[in-house]
């Protein structure tokens, strides 16, 4: 028998707050985390704006030895996981550690380590690299570091699907808990790729906004790169009830699809299959849903295609949906994005407030739905979905219900 899967905790590191509570408060206030880059020199960058995690102080979280072992991306993941696990009250004793899955998505892993070390090698003609170069930059490092830091001995692995990594990770964790393969899961995503090399790579794609991120708005000029982490604790309803845990929401469905079409151009039908798949898995009728937390990157192509996909998946009900994009505030945190967005979606249901899409200048004829422009809105959200659509044509959508 399938188990019901509930969320009992969350933790966040973001450009607008490095706890879940501060992240949510700033999302609702419409605070932007987007500003000129400070982590990298900007004189050789065409696009200088990013959404950095500000005031992140490794010594506040790690001793020197541990800090040296962890790339910034793994530090984010561990800090978010610690917050979530502390909130959950779980101690993973009595065999629970072995029945807890740790699945952390990341788009690109330890980019700071890679950039710093390759710079030493190629530019500074260093003769050797630091011995931890490889274990710090590998994409499973955030997952491994979370499991080591918290002593989680069950299934543990990374999921890499670019901008959908966290959503795929949480979806797989949901499947494992629902099927009984795991009792609990610590899952989410992390990325920390604001490095000179990565920014030059993004710049070359010509999709970066020079001003700010304005999803679904007229005169939107592209995406803004962000960073951060978000981790949730999932468990079976039975386990959460037995220990008297506070249940924050329920994950009820997961839809996945591949466009098998183009590396970067979004595909409406792939998006529709993932959205409809999540709704069907959750046994939700389109009219049961009040809120869509959009992928909403702020590029011309994504926002127009996502709008069409929402219309096709939801039919006439699309016009009644509240739709918003957190990326207007926290930028595109790649492998962390789906985690940050799932937490926002769950909080919106719980608090009955939908966060806005900020920087919205007015409607684009190609994007003609309700994007909750600029101001948060009180709304009784009983069911919602969170969309993630990655480069490579990989789509993942989670469906959630209020508890």
Partner 1 sequence: MDNVAAEVIAIIAAKAREGQKIEMTDRLADLGIDSFGAVEMIFDLEEKFDIQITYNSNDPKPEFETVGDVVNAIEKVVNGKA
Which residues of this chain interact with partner 1, rule CB under 8 A?
46, 204-210, 220-222, 262-265, 299-301
Residue 122 dihedral angles phi and psi, to the nearest 5°: -85, -35
Residue number, 87 or 297, with CB nearest to partner 1: 297
307 contacts 358 by C-beta, under 8 angstroms: no
Residue number, 289 or 367, with CB nearest to partner 1: 367
57 contacts 47 by C-beta, under 8 angstroms: no
Cβ partners under 8 Å of residue 151, min gap 6: 92, 97
Residue from 201, 386, 378, 226 nearest 310 by CA: 386
Least distance (Å) from partner 1 to the CB of residue 49? 13
If you search the block for the tokens 């969320």, which residue do you land on? 7
Q: Is 332 a catalytic residue?
A: yes
Cβ partners under 8 Å of residue 179, min gap 6: 2, 3
DSSP assigned state of 21? H
CA distance 370 to 107: 30
The DSSP element (H or E) to which 252 belongs, if any, is: strand 249-258
Catalytic residue among 61, 168, 239, 295: 295
If you search the block for the tokens 């008297």, which residue do you land on? 244
- In terms of phi and psi (left: phi > 0; alpha: psi -120 to 50; beta: otherwise), the region of 274 is alpha
Q: Is 163 a catalytic residue?
A: yes
Least distance (Å) from partner 1 to the CB of residue 219? 8
Residue number, 72 or 220, with CB nearest to partner 1: 220
Residue number, 208 or 274, with CB nearest to partner 1: 208
Q: Is 213 a catalytic residue?
A: no
- Looking only at the bridges linking them, the beta strands covering 35-36 and 291-293 are unpaired
If you search the block for the tokens 């002593």, which residue do you land on? 151
Residue number, 262 or 368, with CB nearest to partner 1: 262
Least distance (Å) from partner 1 to the CB of residue 262? 8
Least distance (Å) from partner 1 to the CB of residue 222? 4
Catalytic residue among 156, 163, 213, 367: 163
397 contacts 338 by C-beta, under 8 angstroms: no
52 contacts 192 by C-beta, under 8 angstroms: no
Q: Residue 133: count other Cβ atoms within 10 Å of its Cβ.
A: 19
Residue number, 223 or 278, with CB nearest to partner 1: 223
Least distance (Å) from partner 1 to the CB of residue 335? 22
Q: Residue 233: count other Cβ atoms within 10 Å of its Cβ.
A: 27
Least distance (Å) from partner 1 to the CB of residue 300? 4
Residue number, 65 or 206, with CB nearest to partner 1: 206
Least distance (Å) from partner 1 to the CB of residue 362? 14
Catalytic residue among 168, 175, 239, 332: 332
Residue from 171, 176, 402 nearest 281 by CA: 171
| Residues assigned a catalytic role | 163, 295, 332
């Amino acid at each position: 028998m399938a188990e019901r899967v509930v969320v009992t905790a969350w933790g966040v590191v973001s450009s607008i707050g490095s706890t879940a509570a501060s992240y949510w408060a700033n999302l609702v206030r419409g605070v932007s985390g987007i500003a000129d880059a400070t982590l990298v020199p900007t004189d050789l960058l065409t696009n200088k704006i990013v959404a950095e995690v500000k005031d992140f102080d490794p010594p506040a979280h790690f001793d020197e030895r541990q800090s040296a072992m962890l790339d910034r991306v793994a530090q984010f993941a561990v800090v978010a996981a610690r917050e979530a696990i502390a909130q959950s009250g779980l101690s993973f004793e009595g065999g629970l550690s072995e029945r807890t899955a740790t699945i952390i998505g990341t788009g690109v892993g330890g980019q700071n380590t890679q950039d710093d070390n390759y710079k030493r090698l190629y530019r500074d003609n260093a003769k050797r690299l630091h011995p931890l170069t490889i274990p710090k930059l590998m994409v499973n490092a955030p997952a491994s570091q979370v499991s080591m830091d918290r002593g989680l001995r069950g299934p543990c692995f990374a999921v890499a699907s670019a901008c959908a990594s966290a959503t795929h990770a949480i979806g797989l964790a949901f499947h494992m808990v629902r099927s009984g393969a795991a009792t609990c899961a610590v899952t989410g995503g992390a990325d920390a790729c604001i490095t000179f090399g990565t920014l030059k790579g993004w710049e070359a794609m010509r999709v970066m906004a020079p001003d700010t991120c304005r999803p679904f708005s007229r005169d939107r000029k592209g995406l803004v790169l962000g960073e951060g982490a978000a981790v949730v604790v999932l468990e079976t309803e039975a386990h959460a009830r037995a220990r008297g845990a506070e249940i924050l929401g329920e994950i009820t469905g997961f839809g996945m699809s591949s466009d098998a079409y183009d590396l970067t151009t979004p595909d409406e039908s792939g998006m529709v299959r993932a959205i409809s798949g999540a709704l069907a898995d959750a046994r939700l009728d389109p009219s049961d849903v009040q809120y869509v937390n959009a992928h909403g990157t702020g590029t011309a192509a994504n926002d127009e295609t996502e709008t069409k996909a929402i219309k096709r998946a939801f039919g006439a009900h699309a016009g009644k949906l509240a739709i918003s994009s957190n990326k207007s505030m926290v930028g595109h945190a790649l492998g962390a994005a789906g985690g940050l967005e799932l937490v926002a979606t769950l909080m919106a249901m719980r608090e009955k407030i939908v966060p806005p899409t900020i920087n919205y200048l007015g409607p684009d004829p190609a994007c003609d739905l309700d994007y909750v422009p600029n101001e948060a809105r009180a709304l009784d959200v009983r069911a919602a979905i969170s969309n993630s659509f990655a480069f490579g044509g990989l789509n993942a959508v989670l469906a959630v219900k209020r508890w």
